Amino acid sequence: MAIERILVIDDEVLLRNFLAETLRRKNYDVQTAESGEAGIAKFKEQGFDLVITDMKMPDMTGIDVLKTIKALTPQTVVIVITAYGSVENAVEAMRLGAFNYLIKPFTPDTIEALIEKAKEHIGLVDENEYLRSEMRGKNSPVVRQPVFESPSMKKVVEDISKVAKSNANIFITGESGTGKEVIAALIHQQSTRSMHPFIKVNCAAIPETLIESEFFGHEKGAFTGAHQKKSGRFELAHTGTLLLDEITEVPLILQSKLLRVLQEQEFERVGGTKPIKVDVRVISTSNRNVKEAVEHKILREDLYFRLNVIPVHLPPLRERIEDIIPLAGYFIDKFCTESHLPKKELTERAKKRLLEYLWPGNVRELANVIERAVVMGTSQTIDQSSLFLDASLSLTDGRGTHESSGTDLYTLPVGITLKELEKRLIIETLHAHNHNRKKTAEILDISVRTLRNKINEYRKEGLEIVGED
């Protein structure tokens, strides 16, 4: 929440006008009130980001004004000014939530510097609230740093180290669960923006009616339920990096607005008219075939070109089997530590089973399998019987392995493409759960919207799939 609108409450007309003119020269929208009651009435009617109130006024004291405003909107910044300074008053004002307590007389520089500090404070509060909400929303384990041994992932990490310090937008593609968010975080860490915010938006998880507000924020009263002004993710990511996770799930009507932000580096909040300038580096991800998404008018071509300055593709886990055992070891250490359990080891049979499995859910599925084995197992070793893997999704298809150039390779059933395998997995999971789309989407770790789109594709191909649309 940036500071844009300021309310000055003071019964002294000279000081009131002095503050108003000082702040207007800095392009703030300033309103004034000659009494506490008039100020509270204006605040209830219009809403303000910052209130400057005198302590001693005929009808209400500054303390009364402070209490009322904090009861209405606790996040509003309030500065109390007075000509009758005392330690007791200052302590009381700060205890009740005042940002600062200023003694008259003061210079324009003093009030301007104080408001700059208030802006920094608000930025930190907004970022902390965002981080707390992110932590509350965590429901699946992810790798915070990439763990890899495969040549393909070594090449990915080597490539991103070359481009991380640029400001170019990056588009990361790959199946769900391959670690796109981890790579995005690594790019941010290696960039010149690493000391600034790294803000994420899961575009597939936000209802279409709310996604514009999540991106750009909204003004008070912009729509039903908008009881106060809210900063959007672009505003929170100012000077840092914004991750648009599953960008192909953004409705087409909003994609044109996204394109304008990327081109102009400015936007308006929902219900607002004032342009807000931002400096944001955008990283986008998608688990779709992006070229097909463009061809089918799911993703605007001009937006794709703007986002896809530097493309990065993450191969699925089944195509980088050298990473499976190192990743499993990482997750064993992680979950043993988190569960306060002694370190466990994989048996050779368990390793073989992990290497033979298809991993349709990629690294995220591997993490879930290992967590279950760690928590449920009673032994110091993890054997194949503890892994609970679907035998029908084995890379060997029951026919064993063969060796080539010293590396274990696996053969898929003849004639089964990855697209066909995905279709079979989705349809069989739907059948197994009585066509419950929410449950199916949870098991397959995709959004309900993505599942609906897949079902519509299969119906166009002539497949009969029962269930509600």
What does the block give as tokens for 276?
């807000």
Given the DSSP bridges, would you call strands 345-346 and 381-382 parallel, antiparallel or unpaired? parallel
Mean pLDDT of 127-154: 66
Nearest one of 408, 284, 333, 377 to 147, comparing CA atoms: 333
Enter the pTM of the model. 0.65
For the chain, domains (ranges, CATH) are 5-129 (3.40.50.2300), 160-314 (3.40.50.300), 318-405 (1.10.8.60), 418-460 (1.10.10.60)
CA distance 97 to 74: 8
For the four alpha carbons of 326, 329, 335 and 338, in that order, the dihedral sign comes to negative
With 0-12 / 13-18 / 19 or more C-beta atoms within 10 angstroms meaning exposed / middle / buried, residue 439 is: middle
Stretch among 15-19, 81-85, 400-404, 447-451 having the lowest mean pLDDT: 400-404
pLDDT for position 120: 81
**For the stretch 377-387, what's the b/e string if a residue is b when 16 or more beta carbons lie within 10 angstroms of its beta carbon?**
beeeebebebb
For 241-257, write each residue's pLDDT tens digit: 999 999 999 999 999 99
Task: Give the CA distances from residue 234 to residues 29, 117, 243, in Å, rounded to whole numbers and listed in that order.
Answer: 22, 21, 10
Could you tell me the end-to-end alpha-carbon distance of the chain, in angstroms, rounded to an integer?
A: 39
Judged against a pLDDT cut of 60, whether residue 406 lies above it is answered with: no
For 421-453, write each residue's pLDDT tens digit: 788 788 878 877 777 888 888 888 888 888 888
Nearest one of 443, 442, 434, 444 to 468, comparing CA atoms: 434
Judged against a pLDDT cut of 70, whether residue 129 lies above it is answered with: no
Judged against a pLDDT cut of 70, whether residue 469 lies above it is answered with: no
For 329-356, write each residue's pLDDT tens digit: 999 999 999 999 999 999 999 999 999 8
pLDDT for position 140: 41
Mean pLDDT of 122-126: 73
For 181-210, write each residue's pLDDT tens digit: 999 999 999 999 998 889 999 998 888 888
What residue type is assigned to position 68 of the chain?
Answer: T
**For the stretch 183-221, what's the b/e string if a residue is b when 16 or more beta carbons lie within 10 angstroms of its beta carbon?**
bbbbbbebbebeebbbbbbbbbebeeeebbbbbbbbbbe
pLDDT for position 398: 38
CA distance 131 to 137: 10
CA distance 24 to 45: 21
Who has greater pLDDT, 382 or 401?
A: 382
pLDDT for position 118: 87
CB 236 within 8 A of CB 122: no
With a pLDDT cut of 70, the percent of the chain lying above it is 89
Nearest one of 309, 216, 201 to 257, comparing CA atoms: 216
CA distance 357 to 398: 11
DSSP H or E run through 384: none
Stretch among 32-41, 114-123, 270-279 having the lowest mean pLDDT: 114-123
Judged against a pLDDT cut of 90, whether residue 52 lies above it is answered with: yes
CB 21 within 8 A of CB 15: no
DSSP helix/strand/coil, 318: helix
